[in-house]
Chains A and B, each alone.
Chain A
Amino acid sequence: TQLLEQSPQFLSIQEGENLTVYCNSSSVFSSLQWYRQEPGEGPVLLVTVVTGGEVKKLKRLTFQFGDARKDSSLHITAAQPGDTGLYLCAGGNAGKSTFGDGTTLTVKP
């Protein structure tokens, strides 16, 4: 079984602060996705990374895939209350995705 560990599990910060969420595994993945989920809704895809060392930016969000394709990070600059939610990473292999347990982010105004 391929496992993905996310840290921290919970994060509460003030508006304007920066933060980084980590997703680590001992397994190699062919791709890694980050999702954001709000209460009562399904996860929504933020980004997919497929190349070791790849960095993608989505406005204030920066995603990085580790060189060995075993880990990833999500950095948010100047967090806003609208960033509040559950952030999930998922590693993909052979048509299936394994999810981490998620990081619950709360951004206080």
Chain B
Amino acid sequence: DAGITQSPRHKVTETGTPVTLRCHQTENHRYMYWYRQDPGHGLRLIHYSYGVKDTDKGEVSDGYSVSRSKTEDFLLTLESATSSQTSVYFCAIGPDGRPGNTIYFGEGSWLTVV
């Protein structure tokens, strides 16, 4: 298994509260990604990072922010959680952005916003 740890694995929170999900890797990979997975929408990219303090938006970035202060950690923050952000969140890592890059996924974080 690729060395990816997501925390928390399960969380229930109330609308309007801030939430931070953490992704920790032990592979020293340059690229890290946050995806959300919802029925009927597959996996959609929220944000990604191509190095420490280097991040960029994905296709569904509204309402989310990220930070990467160390190679091994990539944080996803919901500043004010909404019910539409109830989802399964997956972190992924990859060595680089070249064609054929292998991306490895974590086990997911289940977030419910009530």
Contact = CB atoms under 8 A, between A and B. Distances in A.
Interface of A: 1, 30-31, 33, 35, 40-45, 48, 50, 88, 90, 92, 94-102
Interface in B59-104: 59, 90, 92, 94, 96-104
A43 B105 contact: yes
Q: How large is the interface on B (under 10, 10 to 19, 20 to 34, 35 or more residues)?
A: 20 to 34
A42 B90 contact: yes
Contacts of A92: 99-101
A50 B99 contact: yes
B76 to A, nearest CB: 15
A31 B101 contact: yes
Interface of B: 31, 33, 35, 40-45, 48, 50, 58-59, 90, 92, 94, 96-108
Contact of A101 (B40, B45, B107): B40
B100 A31 contact: yes
Given A41-B108, A43-B105, A95-B31, A30 B99 contact: yes
Contacts of B105: 35, 42-44
8 contacts: A45-B102, A92-B101, A95-B31, A95-B98, A97-B33, A99-B35, A101-B41, A101-B42
Contacts of B58: 96
B41 to A, nearest CB: 7
Contacts of B102: 33, 45, 48
Contacts of A95: 31, 48, 50, 94, 96-98, 101
Given A31-B99, A102-B42, 11 more contacts: A35-B105, A40-B107, A41-B108, A44-B105, A45-B104, A48-B100, A50-B100, A92-B100, A96-B58, A97-B103, A98-B59
